[in-house]
Chain A
Amino acid sequence: MSFISYLINGISLGSIYALIALGYTMVYGIAKMLNFAHGDIIMIGGYTIFVVMNTLGMPPILGVLVAVVVCTILGVTIEKIAYKPLRQASPLAVLITAIGVSYLLQNVALLIFGANTKLFTSVVSIPAISLADGQINLSGETTVTIVVSVVIMVGLMLFIRKSKTGQAMLAVSEDKGAAELMGINVNATIAVTFAIGSALAAIAGALLCSAYPTLTPYTGAMPGIKAFVAAVFGGIGSIPGAFIGGILLGVIENLSKAYISSQMADAIVFAVLIVVLLVKPTGILGKKISEKV
């Protein structure tokens, strides 16, 4: 019975990773850049909801909506100021800029909100589901996170396949130059990608802070890195891959904590990642890229 309990806790942790990884992988898949500031946009989302709910006393749903707006504007602004001028620069320069933005956001939050831990009030009001006479508990946050992750995954896939903007994104991801020749506004398409990615970060922030309710300026950093690992695990650029990678990462982490060693859990997670990448260098669902000569 405790195995099922560990498994469910793993899925619950993994669904958070999956939700963050969706934002990572979407930006990478289309803009071909690693937005290391993604985790910190999540943190800003968390603080926004905290301010709206606790300082202004508004209902949770309004907090999430305000956070989505704030994060979208923030994401687009960051893209415009920090990443767009580097469109022709080497990927390494963009990566370093992203790390810089990440530290900038953390320190701005430190200045505004201070280093003291804040306790986040959950935005989820669904009661926990209790199975097998209370032996297994599925918290409301877990249920909502899993449902939201699946909905976002399916929604993103449909959006990219069916909508005109989505098609433009696919074209930009395959070949920026050719897409531009076909009359696609590359800059606008990438801006939309960042807007969607940042809106997802706000939702991830709401659910991350609801499930694990301590809020500090560094809240987003470590889950952001774990989610990045999940995205690579599942095959970076692949939307269902990010979901599967996130869930697997959470489950492996929790089962190794439970059955091998709580001290070794992170080492085991990363060892599994190395093995997967040795066998399948593009990740579980990653596309095989063959360079055309």
Chain B
Amino acid sequence: MKKAMSLILALSMAVASLTGCGSAASGTAETESAAAGTTFKIGGIGPVTGGAAVYGLAVKNGAQIAIDEINAAGGVNGAQLEFNFQDDEHDAEKSVNAYNTLKDWNMQALMGTVTSTPCIAVAEETNKDQVFQLTPSGSSVPCVQYDNAFRICFSDPNQGLKSAQYIGENGLATKVAIIFDSSDVYSSGIKDKFVEEAPNQGIEVVAQEAFTADSKTDFTVQLQKAKDAGAELVFLPIYYSEAALILAQANTTGFTPQFFGCDGLDGILTVENFDTALAENVMLLTPFAADAQDDLTKKFVETYNKNFGETPNQFAADAYDAIYAIKAALEEAKATPDMSAQDLCPVLETAMTKINMDGLTGEGMTWTADGEVNKAPKAVKIVKGAYTAMD
């Protein structure tokens, strides 16, 4: 409900800004960006204050590490990268303002925005101005509805698809029950796609149990029905606060299936006073595990820890990959720093569909023309209160 409302608000705001000052703004961008110098100017937008600040800060920091590495290694096509990150407080209107600020700075490509609702609003603007946009973490479908927008993370429905594939390919279970929030687009979007894909993976969905925002305290019936249906695995495409309750109630009723969730479960271990023993063996589909042992992850985690004093999360990794994807696309397109954002946009669009890169969040990542990423899903398992990578 809240998501739907904010979506409507975001769209109406985007439309309002289109009709309002559209023509004047795009005019200045074209004339000024011709005077670009010898560096590539990459803009970033995300919430670094307010309730969603944890995501925006992670993206800002993760991207900065990538920028520093690339510049230290000689830049892109012989030119250095300049990075300018603006705050949007997870607000669609402020996000469009941040975008206009970056346009005045002669940004040539945008890495952002971090959260879905502002991202949809900004995508309207970048499409109108023809500025290349790559969001690290905007997972809602309309974030990349235009040709000029791409993303690093999976879309919401794709998480359902990839979850079903992961469960099927790794033979985790054949009988699966789903408990989902029918009043939330994120949750029901993932669930619908999962149910659609399940038969292809030899998975039998034995129970589909819903709850709504108005009745999300008692899950005993949903759990009992899953148990009676013989579910070996319970799929939870929901956020962590409800999942914490489900785990606690499953524990008291003595029901111990494998639990499997998506990126909404990321954060369950940080709920204040949560007994992490309840989450033991819970699996979640998230593209990044900070304790993975490959060299790229180890180096990234070490640098992040040294520079920012904490362990990076999935969002930081998405941003790191986003900057490297922009670098790869610039190289593929043989772009030069004197090109304007409008000149760069079509060549980067083509280049994105041709590149193939190994990043923190996946190996051999490729992109389709509709902006979606192709990469193998990764899952982590909670072992002794910490995320552990699975193969």
Contacts and interface: CB of A to CB of B under 8 A. Distances in A.
B221 interface: yes
A9 interface: yes
Contacts of A2: 224, 228
Contact of B273 (A54, A134, A223, A257): A54
B221 A119 contact: no
A116 B271 contact: yes
Contact of B252 (A119, A137, A253): A137
Nearest to A141: B252
Contact of B254 (A6, A54, A137, A223): A137
A128 B220 contact: no
A91 to B, nearest CB: 26
A12 to B, nearest CB: 8
Interface string A109-122: 00000011111110
B225 A212 contact: no
Interface string B172-216: 000000000010000000000000000000000000011110110
Contacts of A128: 252
Nearest to B221: A257
A121 B273 contact: yes
Contacts of B274: 119
A213 interface: yes
A54 B271 CA distance: 14
A48 interface: no
Interface stretch (B63-71, B92-100, B240-248, B340-348): B240-248
B51 interface: yes
A139 interface: yes
A49 to B, nearest CB: 12
Contacts of B215: 222, 253, 265-266
B275 interface: yes
Contacts, number: 80
A120 B273 contact: yes
Instruction: Report the interface size class on chain A.
Output: 20 to 34
B23 interface: no
B218 interface: yes
B272 interface: yes
Contacts of A222: 214-215, 217
A58 interface: no
A119 B225 contact: no
Contact of A6 (B209, B217, B224, B242): B224
B140 interface: no
A90 B171 CA distance: 65
A258 B219 CA distance: 11
A266 B241 CA distance: 21
B273 A119 contact: yes
A2 B230 CA distance: 13
Q: Which of B222, B242, B253 has the most CB of A within 10 A?
A: B253
Interface residues of B, number: 30
Contacts of B222: 257, 262
Contact of B210 (A5, A216, A263): A263
Interface string A245-277: 000000001100110011101100000000000
A37 interface: no
A250 B207 CA distance: 22
Q: Which of B182, B218, B222, B253 has the most CB of A within 10 A?
A: B218
Given A2-B228, A212-B217, A263-B182, A137 B245 contact: no
A254 B272 contact: no
Contacts of B273: 50, 54, 118-121
Interface in B243-271: 244-245, 248, 252-254, 271
Given A119-B275, A212-B245, A222-B214, A5 B224 contact: yes
B254 A262 contact: no
A93 to B, nearest CB: 27
Contacts of B209: 257, 262
B271 A9 contact: no
Nearest to A116: B272
B194 to A, nearest CB: 17
A185 interface: no
A280 B212 CA distance: 29
Nearest to A120: B273
Given A214-B241, A266-B214, A9 B221 contact: yes
Contacts of A50: 273
A20 B174 CA distance: 42
A214 B252 CA distance: 15
B205 to A, nearest CB: 14
Nearest to A12: B220
A170 B242 CA distance: 43
Contact of B271 (A6, A13, A118, A263): A118
Interface of B: 51, 182, 209-212, 214-215, 217-218, 220-222, 224-225, 228, 240-242, 244-245, 248, 252-254, 271-275
7 contacts: A116-B271, A213-B244, A214-B244, A222-B215, A223-B217, A257-B222, A262-B221
